[in-house]
């Protein structure tokens, strides 16, 4: 699979080897495609749809779509910016995201994307759903008010930790994360050292006794937008 | 009880070889046996098939025919599809509530009868209809409800319900159903007389590549709606590298208003199974799976018998019709109430014993499908067409229909028309000619292709039904002049809210938002800018959704906004004073006034 | 020409956003050169004296008085700005939104772990505004023109927004000034 492929993103010519996804190739070229469910250590799921780009005019998820010779990718367009904004808005209103007391604030990928897109307030009405909090585990607490159903913990626990602690239950707007026990996280073999404990993009899976350790101003996204680390690769 | 549960579930799991991929069969069997898949049952199943219990919970919670909580021995599922509502399901629903003294979503106090709503069960031409366990009851009326409930309370066995029998195989003792075929027009392809075995014989006389070439020459395209060329699909599957290959038949006919596969499965199952064998031979598969929607469980005994007969006649099994080395058999996978499983990759997930989530493409099923093997997923009607093409030849097939859409199309027509039912008509028929045929010339609107299709008005009645203009998987729903198209669009959004899998954000949340906007407009609280918001949101959902469901679910809104804009405009008005029309101070204060036992003095009216 | 007027209020909020407004330090002198304050806790004017260019709303609507005040603001102000997360989404007060009002009141006044109320009397003076069934973000009650997120929004955020709005410029905040905490 060393075949070389040439294509463009927003007019910039990119060369990469066959088998790469659009997102991988863009990352290497220093072009940031906004994303949320994607975690570099886990297989792409294409569930959040934030990374939707136009490939030869057709919408595709950049995290799952392989590159192909001569393809034209549009990423930074007003239409896509609007679509991404809509998705971020949807994630905010379908949950209960109280940033001001959230342990993850400043390091949260959902919040950071909203900052990057310049969202001052969501345009949709809040659902104020009833969600569960599970603090039964000695080292971890789950707050499903903040869960965005990215599936990272499901994949990490199943494929990396080989424990299968998390799985989706329900469908549609009722879909949620459940744990591999009758009810409580304490009854699973989940451990704070699991990969699944480290992959949550928001404040849904939290390690106890570690919150607010970074002062405001020094947190990941306080001064630099999410994606800057990728854009800095660009020469 | 617990030991009993343990031993029964052990037997069920062993019956499926303790195979994780047979999870659908296992949980269906447990549900049937115990009226639920309880928390304890989940633990036991997980133990025997060696998976995590939360996986079992994930599956049980995905399919509406499965439940963690106990259900009655008898489950009445009343279809509340739009067409059923138009046919007066409201009064029928009230009658059920009255006769059973429970509301929908409840079980009688003796735990014996559960009452629920269910989306389209494929009986729109004989609405209102209900499923009572696996039995279908059609043409419901308030009187009939009284009789049914009285009858059920005698034995609590829906198979003993007294009813008249339908026509054709519906009257066969293995089906014993009151369903009518409602076959209004037979065309030359599916419902004409045909020579059984002839297609398969012709196929086995030539090479698989030649079969694919014949299907290509006939320009056969998928009948499910998307219209992918069948020959190409088979060619890709054949060419893909894989130890095994599979052909799957999509009989998860769930698009509201579609019921043509029901008639094929009842009257032309042999033709279908023959098509699967031909396809199997063409792609190099040894196994085929018919994925049958849970709502059509009443047909399974008939289908199993036909399969058995075909094995006996060497039309399935080893060295079929003497063709050395061509071994092929078909199994039936039952669904369990999930519209999304009609999406081909979700259907594969379900066959694999998973939640019915669509899969990421690429890889496409033809490359990596069922259990990771190259898989062709074809519609029921498509496979029947393939049988006929192999029997009669490509040129014969292409004689009918239009250039880009050869052959005939089965249309399931329902709603405000004089002759609802199934019509086999050549592709290329104009909508207005179809309306004349079905007795609905004064239709206000026609939904072509089900809610994921388009709702058109009289200006478009000169358009034709074919892949290049109005594509359809078969549903044609007619709306008379008295129908409110905004209400219709709202009903269909409710359907998508209920039936989406929840995997991707725009479809999971966006459809709820569309529905909320529409509710607001229907409540008379909409403003002109809400129409722009609907348009923008709808387009955004279409652009960003992961699978065909979300890519088409805004269509009821977008096409009515386009074609029936005045219906919307009549309902919206600008709020003059900057107040939100949706805010209801009386409702917001009702609780407090009750608790404090005093009326607000600030807001007196 | 007379100076444009600004009105401010704190509904179901903690006055933190008002503190943040005062936090603009010496720029407050510049501000009063630019505008006059009408109804506001800052000058303790209780009723609107005339039409205002801008109304700054802190807090969401938790009771009928909040609704009344917010509606008055909508009637008297050309531009309404939801200042802070409570005005935008209800925020901490809105954590009660999934709990029936009766339970909330009983927990707060009768059963809570730190409550001493042996008579089991629920406060119910007729002067007390009635609570709403849940906390409503301001935009659910009236049309809101702009939102400034933050808990509270920083003084610089408020300052930049005011300067832009008073000069009829589009409200564009740099990255560092958009914060939800």
- The tens digit of pLDDT for each residue in B377-417 reads 999 999 999 999 999 999 999 999 998 999 999 999 999 99
Could A90 and B57 be called an inter-chain contact, meaning their C-beta atoms sit closer than 8 Å?
Answer: no
Q: Are residues A46 and A89 in the same domain?
A: no
Whether A167 contacts chain B with CB within 8 A: yes
Question: Closest Cα of chain A to C178: distance in Å?
Answer: 6
Q: What is the pLDDT of residue B257?
A: 96
Q: Are residues A68 and A92 in the same domain?
A: no
Encoded tokens for A2? 């060393």
- Rg of the Cα trace of chain C? 18
In a domain, A216, yes or no: no
Q: Which helix (H) or strand (E) holds C133?
A: strand C131-136
Q: Are residues A69 and A91 in the same domain?
A: no
In a domain, A15, yes or no: yes
- Among all residues of chain A, which has the CA nearest to that of C99? A130
pLDDT beneath 70: ranges in chain A: 1-2, 235
Q: How many C-beta neighbours within 10 Å does residue A66 have?
A: 16
Q: C107-123: per-residue pLDDT in tens?
A: 999 999 999 999 999 99
Q: Which helix (H) or strand (E) holds B185?
A: strand B183-185
Q: Which helix (H) or strand (E) holds B107?
A: strand B106-107
What is the pLDDT confidence band of residue B328, given thresholds at 50, 70 and 90? very high
Give me the residue from B577, B587, B589 closest to C130, CB to CB. B589
Cα–Cα distances (Å) from A15 to A2, A4, A53, A61, in that order, read 12, 7, 18, 19
In a domain, A124, yes or no: yes
Peptide bond into B378 cis (omega under 30): no
Q: Are residues A101 and A169 in the same domain?
A: yes
pLDDT at C1 over 80: no
**Residues of A whose CB is below 8 A from C175:** 115-116, 223, 225
**Residues of A whose CB is below 8 A from C137:** 126
In a domain, A222, yes or no: no
Give the largest Cα separation in chain A, rounded: 53
In a domain, C102, yes or no: no
A162 dihedral zone (left: phi>0; alpha: psi -120 to 50; beta): left
Could B579 and C142 be called an inter-chain contact, meaning their C-beta atoms sit closer than 8 Å?
Answer: yes
C-alpha–C-alpha distance, residues B434 and B447, integer Å: 13
Give me the residue from C65, C131, C141 closest to B583, CB to CB. C141
Q: What is the pLDDT of residue A235?
A: 61
pLDDT at B220 over 70: yes
Range of the domain at C46: 5-96+134-177
Number of domains in chain C: 1
Q: B249-301: per-residue pLDDT in tens?
A: 999 999 999 999 999 999 999 999 999 999 999 999 999 999 999 999 999 99
Residues 6 or more apart in contact with residue B498 via CB below 8 angstroms:
A172, B119
Q: Mean of the pLDDT values across residues C150-174?
A: 95
In a domain, C117, yes or no: no
Q: Are residues A105 and A45 in the same domain?
A: no
Helix, coil or strand: residue C107? helix
Q: What is the pLDDT of residue A167?
A: 98
Q: Are residues A49 and A111 in the same domain?
A: no
CA-based end-to-end distance of chain B? 59
**Residues of A whose CB is below 8 A from B340:** 171
Give the largest Cα separation in chain B, rounded: 91
Residues 6 or more apart in contact with residue B409 via CB below 8 angstroms:
B223, B381, B401, B424, B425, B426, B427, B465, B472, B474
Q: B416-432: per-residue pLDDT in tens?
A: 999 999 999 999 999 99
Give me the residue from B497, B501, B505 closest to A91, CB to CB. B505
Q: Are residues A137 and A41 in the same domain?
A: no
Q: Which residues of C touch A (CB under 8 A)?
A: 82, 85, 88-92, 94-95, 97-98, 134, 137, 139-140, 146-149, 151, 171-173, 175-176, 178-181
Helix, coil or strand: residue B314? coil
Output the pTM of the full model.
0.97
Residues in chain A: 235
Q: What is the pLDDT of residue C72?
A: 98
Q: What is the pLDDT of residue A234?
A: 82
C-alpha–C-alpha distance, residues A161 and B464, integer Å: 56
In a domain, A60, yes or no: yes
What is the pLDDT confidence band of residue B1, given thresholds at 50, 70 and 90? low
CATH number at C13 reads 3.40.50.700
C-alpha–C-alpha distance, residues B427 and B408, integer Å: 5
Q: How many C-beta neighbours within 10 Å does residue B192 have?
A: 12
Give me the residue from B61, B497, B510 closest to A169, CB to CB. B61
- Among all residues of chain B, which has the CA nearest to that of A123? B533
In a domain, C106, yes or no: no
What is the pLDDT confidence band of residue B225, given thresholds at 50, 70 and 90? confident
Range of the domain at A43: 4-76
Question: Closest Cα of chain C to A98: distance in Å?
Answer: 6
Number of domains in chain A: 2
Question: What residues pair up with C148 in beta bridges, in sequence order?
Answer: C83
**Residues of A whose CB is below 8 A from C88:** 121
Q: B32-59: per-residue pLDDT in tens?
A: 999 999 999 999 999 999 999 999 999 9
Whether C130 contacts chain B with CB within 8 A: yes
Question: Closest Cα of chain C to B219: distance in Å?
Answer: 55
Residues 6 or more apart in contact with residue B514 via CB below 8 angstroms:
B493, B534, B537, B538, B541, B554, B557
Could C67 and B595 be called an inter-chain contact, meaning their C-beta atoms sit closer than 8 Å?
Answer: no
List chains adjacent to chain A, taking adjacency as at least 3 C-beta pairs closer than 8 Å.
B, C
Q: C53-68: per-residue pLDDT in tens?
A: 999 999 999 999 999 9
Q: Mean of the pLDDT values across residues B318-344?
A: 97
CB A145 within 8 A of CB A133: yes
- CB-hemisphere CA count at 13 Å for B226? 15
In a domain, C71, yes or no: yes
Could A121 and C179 be called an inter-chain contact, meaning their C-beta atoms sit closer than 8 Å?
Answer: no
In a domain, C128, yes or no: no
- Among all residues of chain C, which has the CA nearest to that of B591? C133
- Among all residues of chain C, which has the CA nearest to that of A119? C178
C-alpha–C-alpha distance, residues B444 and B458, integer Å: 7
**Residues of C whose CB is below 8 A from B578:** 74-75, 80, 142-143
What is the pLDDT confidence band of residue B576, given thresholds at 50, 70 and 90? confident
**Residues of C whose CB is below 8 A from A102:** 181
**Residues of C whose CB is below 8 A from A130:** 98
List chains adjacent to chain C, taking adjacency as at least 3 C-beta pairs closer than 8 Å.
A, B
List chains adjacent to chain B, taking adjacency as at least 3 C-beta pairs closer than 8 Å.
A, C
In a domain, A221, yes or no: no
C-alpha–C-alpha distance, residues B485 and B502, integer Å: 27
In a domain, A122, yes or no: yes
Encoded tokens for B491? 């009903």
Cα–Cα distances (Å) from B409 to B224, B399, B400, C34, in that order, read 10, 14, 10, 73
In a domain, C103, yes or no: no
Question: Closest Cα of chain C to A155: distance in Å?
Answer: 29
C-alpha–C-alpha distance, residues A157 and B160, integer Å: 49
In a domain, C41, yes or no: yes
Q: Are residues A143 and A68 in the same domain?
A: no
**Residues of C whose CB is below 8 A from A122:** 89
In a domain, A173, yes or no: yes
pLDDT at C10 over 70: yes
Q: Are residues A22 and A110 in the same domain?
A: no
Question: Closest Cα of chain A to B186: distance in Å?
Answer: 39
Q: What is the pLDDT of residue A2?
A: 67
Closest C-alpha to C105, from B373, B594, A60, B574? B594
Q: Are residues A30 and A113 in the same domain?
A: no
Which letter does DSSP use for residue B376 in this model?
A: E
- Rg of the Cα trace of chain A? 19
Question: Closest Cα of chain C to A38: distance in Å?
Answer: 23
Q: Are residues A98 and A167 in the same domain?
A: yes
C-alpha–C-alpha distance, residues B391 and B262, integer Å: 23
**Residues of A whose CB is below 8 A from B52:** 164, 167, 180
Could A99 and C173 be called an inter-chain contact, meaning their C-beta atoms sit closer than 8 Å?
Answer: no
CB A175 within 8 A of CB A149: yes
Encoded tokens for B222? 């998928």
In what side-by-side order are the strands of the sheet with B445-448? Answer: B183-185, B421-426, B408-415, B475-479, B445-448, B454-456
Give me the residue from A49, A165, A171 closest to B502, CB to CB. A171
CATH number at A108 reads 3.30.70.20
CB B184 within 8 A of CB B422: yes
Encoded tokens for A62? 């950049």
**Residues of C whose CB is below 8 A from B601:** 126
Whether A124 contacts chain C with CB within 8 A: no
- All structural domains of chain B: 2-60 (no CATH), 74-163 (3.40.30.10), 185-399 (3.40.50.11540), 408-479 (3.10.20.600)
What is the pLDDT confidence band of residue C2, given thresholds at 50, 70 and 90? confident
Q: What is the pLDDT of residue B2?
A: 79
Question: Closest Cα of chain C to A49: distance in Å?
Answer: 23
Give me the residue from A166, A175, A180 closest to B508, CB to CB. A175
CATH number at A39 reads 3.10.20.740
- Among all residues of chain A, which has the CA nearest to that of C98? A130
Question: Closest Cα of chain A to C87: distance in Å?
Answer: 10
Dihedral over Cα of B338, B366, B401, B191: its sign: negative
Encoded tokens for B523? 């409540």
Cα–Cα distances (Å) from B194 to B100, B199, B316, in that order, read 48, 9, 19
The C-alpha torsion from C89 through C90 and C92 to C94, rounded to 10°, is -110
Could B544 and A127 be called an inter-chain contact, meaning their C-beta atoms sit closer than 8 Å?
Answer: no
Question: Closest Cα of chain C to B512: distance in Å?
Answer: 18
Q: What is the pLDDT of residue B226?
A: 86
């Amino acid at each position: 699979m060393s075949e070389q492929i040439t294509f463009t993103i927003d007019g910039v010519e990119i060369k990469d080897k066959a088998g790469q996804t659009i997102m991988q190739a863009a990352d290497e070229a220093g072009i940031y495609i906004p994303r949320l469910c994607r975690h570099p250590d886990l297989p792409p799921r294409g569930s959040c749809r934030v990374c939707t780009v136009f490939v030869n005019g057709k919408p595709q998820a950049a995290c799952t779509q392989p590159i192909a010779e001569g393809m034209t990718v549009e990423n930074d367009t007003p239409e896509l910016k609007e679509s991404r904004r809509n998705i971020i808005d949807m994630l905010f209103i379908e949950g209960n995201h109280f940033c001001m007391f959230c342990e993850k604030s400043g390091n949260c990928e959902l919040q950071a994307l909203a900052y990057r897109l310049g969202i001052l307030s969501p345009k949709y009405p809040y659902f104020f759903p009833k969600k569960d909090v599970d603090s039964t585990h000695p080292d971890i607490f789950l707050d499903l008010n903040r869960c965005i159903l990215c599936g990272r913990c499901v994949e990490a626990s199943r494929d990396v930790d080989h424990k299968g602690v998390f799985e989706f239950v329900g469908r549609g707007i009722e879909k949620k994360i459940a744990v591999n026990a009758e009810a409580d996280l304490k009854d699973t073999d989940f451990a704070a050292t699991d990969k699944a404990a480290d992959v949550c993009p928001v404040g849904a899976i939290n390690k106890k006794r570690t919150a607010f350790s970074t002062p405001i101003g020094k947190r990941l996204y306080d001064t630099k937008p999410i994606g800057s680390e990728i854009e800095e690769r660009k020469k | 009880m617990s030991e009993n549960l343990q031993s029964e579930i052990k037997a069920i799991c062993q019956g499926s070889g303790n195979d994780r991929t047979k999870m659908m069969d296992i949980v269906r069997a447990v549900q049937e046996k115990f009226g639920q898949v309880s928390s304890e049952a989940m633990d036991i199943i997980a133990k025997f098939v060696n998976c995590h219990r939360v996986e079992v919970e994930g599956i049980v919670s995905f399919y509406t025919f499965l439940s963690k909580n106990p259900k009655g021995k008898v489950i009445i599922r009343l279809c509340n599809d739009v067409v059923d509502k138009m046919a007066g399901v409201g009064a029928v629903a009230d009658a059920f509530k009255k006769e059973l003294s429970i509301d929908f979503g409840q079980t009688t106090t003796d735990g014996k009868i559960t009452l629920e709503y269910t989306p389209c069960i494929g009986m729109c031409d004989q609405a209102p209809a209900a499923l009572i366990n696996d039995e279908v009851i059609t043409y419901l009326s308030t009187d009939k409800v009284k009789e049914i409930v009285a009858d059920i309370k005698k034995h609590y066995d829906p198979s003993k319900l007294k009813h008249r029998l339908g026509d054709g195989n519906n009257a066969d003792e293995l089906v014993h159903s009151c369903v009518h075929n409602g076959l209004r027009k037979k065309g030359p392809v599916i419902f004409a007389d045909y020579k059984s075995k002839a297609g398969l014989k012709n196929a086995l006389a030539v090479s698989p590549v030649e079969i694919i070439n014949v299907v290509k020459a006939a320009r056969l395209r998928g009948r499910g709606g998307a219209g992918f060329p069948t020959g190409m699909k088979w060619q890709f599957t054949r060419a893909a590298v894989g130890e095994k290959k599979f052909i799957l038949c999509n009989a998860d006919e769930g698009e509201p208003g579609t019921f043509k596969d029901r008639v094929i499965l009842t009257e032309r199952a042999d033709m279908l199974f023959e098509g699967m064998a031909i396809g199997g031979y063409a792609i190099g598969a040894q196994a085929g799976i018919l994925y049958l929607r849970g709502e059509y469980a009443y047909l399974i005994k008939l289908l199993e018998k036909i399969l058995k007969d075909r094995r006996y006649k060497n039309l399935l099994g080893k060295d079929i019709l003497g063709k050395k080395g061509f071994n092929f058999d078909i199994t039936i996978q039952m669904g369990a109430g999930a519209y999304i499983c009609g999406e081909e990759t979700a259907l594969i997930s379900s066959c694999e014993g998973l939640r019915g989530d669509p899969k990421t493409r690429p890889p496409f099923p033809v490359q990596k499908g069922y259990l990771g093997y190259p898989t062709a997923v074809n519609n029921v009607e498509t496979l029947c067409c393939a049988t006929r093409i192999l029997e009669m030849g490509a040129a014969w097939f292409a004689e009918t229909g239009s250039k880009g859409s050869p052959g005939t199309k089965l249309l399931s027509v329902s709603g405000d028309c004089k002759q609802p039912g199934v019509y086999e008509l050549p592709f290329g028929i104009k909508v207005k000619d179809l309306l004349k045929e079905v007795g609905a010339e004064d239709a206000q609107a026609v939904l072509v292709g089900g809610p994921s299709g388009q709702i058109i008005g009289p200006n478009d009645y000169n358009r034709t039904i074919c892949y290049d203009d109005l594509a359809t998987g078969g549903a044609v729903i007619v709306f008379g002049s008295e129908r409110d198209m905004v209400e219709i669009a709202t009903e269909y959004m409710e359907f998508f809210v209920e039936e989406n899998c929840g995997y991707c954000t725009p479809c999971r949340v966006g459809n709820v938002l569309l529905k909320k906007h529409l509710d607001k407009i229907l409540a008379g609280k909409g403003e002109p800018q809400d129409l722009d918001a609907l348009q923008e949101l709808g387009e955004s959902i279409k652009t960003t959704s992961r699978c065909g469901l979300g890519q088409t679910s805004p269509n009821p809104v977008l096409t009515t906004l386009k074609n029936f804009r005045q219906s919307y405009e009549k309902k919206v008005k600008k709020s003059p004073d900057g107040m939100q029309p949706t805010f209801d101070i009386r409702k917001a204060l009702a609780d407090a006034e009750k608790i404090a036992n005093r009326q607000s003095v600030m807001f007196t009216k | 020409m007379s100076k444009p007027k600004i009105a401010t209020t704190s509904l179901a909020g903690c006055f933190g956003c008002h503190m943040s407004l005062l936090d603009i330090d010496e720029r407050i002198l510049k501000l009063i050169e630019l505008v006059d304050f009408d109804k506001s806790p800052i000058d303790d004017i209780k009723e609107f004296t005339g039409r205002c260019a801008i109304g700054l709303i802190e807090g969401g609507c938790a009771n009928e008085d909040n609704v009344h005040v917010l509606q008055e603001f909508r009637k008297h102000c050309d531009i309404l700005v939801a200042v802070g997360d409570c005005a935008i989404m209800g925020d901490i007060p809105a954590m009660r939104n999934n709990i029936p009002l009766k339970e909330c009141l009983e927990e707060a006044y009768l059963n809570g772990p730190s409550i001493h109320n042996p008579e089991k009397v629920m406060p119910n003076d007729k002067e007390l505004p009635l609570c709403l069934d849940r906390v409503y973000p301001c935009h659910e009650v009236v049309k809101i023109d702009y939102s400034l997120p933050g808990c509270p929004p920083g003084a610089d955020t408020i300052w930049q927004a005011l300067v832009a709005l008073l000069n009829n410029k589009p409200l564009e905040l740099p990255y560092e000034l958009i914060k939800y905490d």
